[in-house]
Copies of this chain bind each other. A is one copy, B any other.
Amino acid sequence: MQHSIKNNFPNFSSELVATIEENGTEQSFEAGTILMRTGQYIKNTVLILKGKIKIYREGEDGGEFLMYYLQPGQACAISMICTAKSEKSQIMAKVVEDVTVMMIPLQLMDKWMMEHRSWYEFVIETYRSRFEEVLEVVDNIAFRSMDERLEFYLKRHSDACGCAEVKLSHQEIATELNTSREVVSRLLKKMEQRGLVKLNRNQIELLK
């Protein structure tokens, strides 16, 4: 019940919730699963009920440039956007914490736009917030240097999990920022000297 549609999407009307439960397919995936690849055609919209999915852009060299995370109560904007033409995905989606999702066939997603006001509003709000998030990413890489980007990255993480400890290795961070591990280590060390963080193995504690 904790991972129901009703709980995670409180703005959905009760008819919409019923329709989703009737037509959607609940599925679970383990951490590490790639749900979507660049160039793949999209057949479903995904509503997240449990877990965490990472949306990123893949570089030629295997970089996994982080765009944003999807968490319970959210949906994949890309899959929604690609609706009409069942276009190719331009991004990668990877499960980072075991997830349970509700899969919705694209035709329905489109159909409901006309039938359910709360669905329409949810979709528009999803577009808006994701677009904004991507704009913020652009801001960061266009105008900020690596040390600022790293600080921002850590803050985002701790905000998302609601705790001050970010459990990631330097290598993972480097991959998501498309830089090298050494650079991350060095910058973190400087941050530690400035009293901003406390470093442990596989864990960074934000101090303010």
Which residues of A approach B to under 8 Å, CB–CB? 57, 59-60, 63, 65, 67, 77-78, 81-85, 87, 90-91, 113-114, 120-121, 124-125, 127-128, 130-132, 134-139, 141-143, 178
**A138, B137: Cβ atoms under 8 Å?**
yes
Interface centre among A121, A125, A135 (most CB of B within 10 A): A135
Copies of this chain in the oligomer = 2
Q: How far is the CB of A121 from chain B (nearest CB, A)?
A: 6
**B139, A57: Cβ atoms under 8 Å?**
yes
The 3 A-B residue pairs whose C-beta atoms are closest, nearest first, are A81-B128, A59-B143, A65-B142
Nearest B residue (CB) for A81:
B128
A84 to chain B: which residues have CB within 8 Å? 121, 124-125, 128
27 interchain pairs (CB within 8 A)?
A57-B135, A57-B142, A59-B142, A63-B143, A65-B138, A65-B142, A67-B135, A67-B138, A81-B124, A81-B127, A81-B131, A83-B124, A84-B121, A85-B128, A90-B132, A114-B114, A114-B120, A127-B131, A130-B131, A131-B131, A134-B134, A134-B135, A134-B138, A137-B138, A141-B141, A142-B178, A143-B178
**A120, B113: Cβ atoms under 8 Å?**
yes
**A141, B143: Cβ atoms under 8 Å?**
no
